[in-house]
Amino acid sequence: MSHCMDNITKIRICHFLWSNGVSHEDIPEPLNIHRATMYRWIKKLKHGGLKHFIKQYKLAKRGRKQPRKTHPITKIRICEIRKKYKNCCGEKIRYILKRDDEIKISLSTIYRVSHEYFTLRSKWKKKSKRGPVKKGTKPRDVIQTDTVDFGDLYAFTMIDTFTR
């Protein structure tokens, strides 16, 4: 048998040999396939038949689908929200999109779009110092805020930098 024979032909020959009673030990060598591959093919041939298996095999070998594209209007809206709310985080952008525009979008998409239009932070400087953080000189002088997304519930955390 030819070494460059395509797999659909090999599956057809394997089915022919198997259905005509050829021993399982004698099928893989002339087809130049592994014994486990032959057993896998025969199992699927028993389950659905030759036509069904070949159809499924061709569908599996088509390659990956194109990734979904984010709508340009959604991208513009993300940028508008980020500018309007002074570089707010992705959780806040997602909340505002859901509340005002009824758009459900993942955080990874929001950050990917934000990274296209804004400089978020350098990947190779993740753990570097970000600059001086203002410290309070008395209670409630400087308060740091952040949000945490728990699904439909948002936790707003505020820390007084003087008393901690």
Based on the domain organization, do 115 and 150 belong to the same domain?
A: no
Residue 163 half-sphere exposure toward CB, CA atoms < 13 A: 8
What does the CA dihedral 42, 47, 52, 56 come to, rounded to 10 degrees?
-70
The pair of structure tokens assigned to 146 is 């952040």
Listing DSSP states for 75-100 in one string gives HHHHHHHHHHTTS--HHHHHHHIIII
Flag whether 138 is in a domain: yes
- CA–CA separation, 159 vs 142, rounded Å? 8
Domain assignment present for 147: yes
Q: What are the pLDDT digits (tens) for 64-114?
A: 777 778 899 999 999 999 989 888 888 899 999 999 999 999 999 998 998
Q: Which domain holds residue 71?
A: 67-122
**pTM summary value:** 0.42
- What pLDDT score does 145 carry? 81
CA distance 40 to 15: 12
Q: Which of 37, 60, 83 is where one domain is finished?
A: 60
Tokens, residue 68: 């979904």
Q: Which residue type occupies 86? A: K
